[in-house]
Amino acid sequence: MNKHLTIILLLFTTLSVGFVACDDEKQEYIRPQFGAMTVNPSPAHPGDSVELIVPHKAKGNGIAATSYYWTVQALCTDPVTHQAKDTLMVVQDNYDGYGKCDPRVKFLLPASTAPGTYPVIMRASFSCYIGNVLFDEATVNGRITVE
């Protein structure tokens, strides 16, 4: 009888460890942490190719897809109303693939850009598929100086 009880307890323990191991394999959602935005070149000049980079302070996990929305405020002038308008650039990325690179965007500064400082907002929108669909966002502010 003790032999059967020992075998049953051993089998139960083995199955319990197997179920716990499966739980550890689930991807856990971890929001990435971002550092300060860098601008290259700084200062920029009208017509320059400008690159904006937001480095990671800590990597995220469990992210299915990411969209980065870069907005440079009042960079251009509307040709009809002559009012300053924002410039929006969207970069979509598979965050968990390809080494979890730092968010970046490269663009040409319009030749008509007036000297000054232009606020920049990078908004990262994450979608995660762990259990239910989860959406999360992170925002980083910076600025472009044009001479």
**What does the domain layout of the chain look like in residue ranges?**
2-146
Helix (H, G, I), strand (E, B) or coil at 29: coil
Dihedral sign, Cα of residue 57, residue 58, residue 59, residue 61: negative
pTM: 0.73
Mean pLDDT of all residues in 72-84 = 79
User: Is the backbone peptide bond immediately before 46 cis, with ω within 30 degrees of 0?
Assistant: no
Helix (H, G, I), strand (E, B) or coil at 12: helix
More confident residue, 7 or 34: 34
Query: Is pLDDT at 97 greater than 50 in this prediction?
Result: no
Query: Is pLDDT at 118 greater than 50 in this prediction?
Result: yes
Query: Is pLDDT at 67 greater than 60 in this prediction?
Result: yes
Highest CATH level, class, for 2-146:
mainly beta
Q: How far is it, in rounded angstroms, from Cα 54 to Cα 105?
A: 9
Q: How far is it, in rounded angstroms, from Cα 66 to Cα 39?
A: 22
